């Protein structure tokens, strides 16, 4: 009787070890101090993790591509002064730079619309240039900080550089003022002038409202 009970309790363990031995045949998964069972479990867990990681990467790429497609649709309403085939590249630039600073790409898109209506060759009366209307003296400092090669004012007519500098500048202003609306006002007025306004008890809101209104207008309900 005792022998029968012992056999019944040991049998499942023996079968489990036998199965593990079958699946691990020809492979050396031995780790000093670690039983074959735990080695197999670890390998299984690693496989699941890699599968989940791959799935996450695919979903991330799909989301980025979906966002880029929708930015292209927004771009279609504007004359950027660039070859039509460059629209998709421009959309991917916006999505990529937005991801770098955890921005919604449609916020950056709204800022570009407000600044230049996507006219790559835009020039303001104050001398700001390009898609995100950056002053050359500001751009020189920004380019140095993010290690972009500065080749004079024409650099700001390179969409990739202009958007990279503009996105970085917005991120700096958000960190400095701790608020998106204030950061947008600083982008428009300049941080020194905005700080002066704030010290006097004045808080401008007109520009930030324009950007946010544009953002609400173009922002889709879903990316994919």
Active site members: 115
Reduced 3-state DSSP string for the chain: CHHHHHHHHHHHHHHHHHHHHHHCCCCCCCECCECHHHHHHHHHHHHHHHHHHHHHHHHHHHHHHHHHHHHHHHHCCCCCCCCCCHHHHHHHHHHHHHHHCCCCHHHHHHHHHHHHCCCCCCECCCCCECCCCECHHHHHHHHHHCCCCCCCHHHHHCHHHHHHHHHHHHHHHHHHHCCHHHHHHHHHHCHHHHHHHHHCCCCCCHHHHHHHHHHHHHCCCCCC
């Amino acid at each position: 009787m005792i022998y029968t009970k012992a056999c019944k309790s040991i049998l499942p363990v023996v079968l489990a070890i036998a199965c593990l031995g079958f699946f691990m045949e020809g492979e050396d998964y031995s780790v000093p101090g670690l039983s074959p069972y735990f080695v197999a479990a670890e390998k299984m867990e690693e496989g699941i993790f890699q599968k989940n990681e791959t799935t996450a990467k695919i979903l991330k790429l799909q989301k980025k591509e979906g966002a880029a497609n929708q930015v292209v649709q927004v771009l279609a309403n504007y004359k950027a002064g660039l070859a039509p085939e460059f629209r998709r590249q421009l959309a991917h630039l916006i999505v990529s730079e937005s991801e770098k600073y955890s921005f919604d790409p449609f916020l950056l898109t709204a800022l570009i619309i407000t600044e230049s209506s996507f006219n790559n060759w835009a020039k303001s009366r104050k001398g700001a240039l390009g898609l995100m209307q950056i002053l050359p003296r500001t751009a020189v400092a920004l380019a140095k900080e993010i290690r972009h090669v500065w080749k004079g004012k024409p650099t700001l007519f390179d969409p990739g550089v202009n958007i990279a500098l503009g996105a970085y500048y917005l991120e700096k202003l958000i960190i400095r003022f701790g608020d998106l609306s204030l950061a947008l006002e600083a982008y428009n007025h300049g941080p020194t002038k905005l700080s002066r306004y704030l010290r006097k008890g004045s808080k401008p809101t007109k520009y930030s409202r324009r950007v946010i209104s544009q953002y609400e207008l173009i922002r889709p309900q879903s990316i994919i």
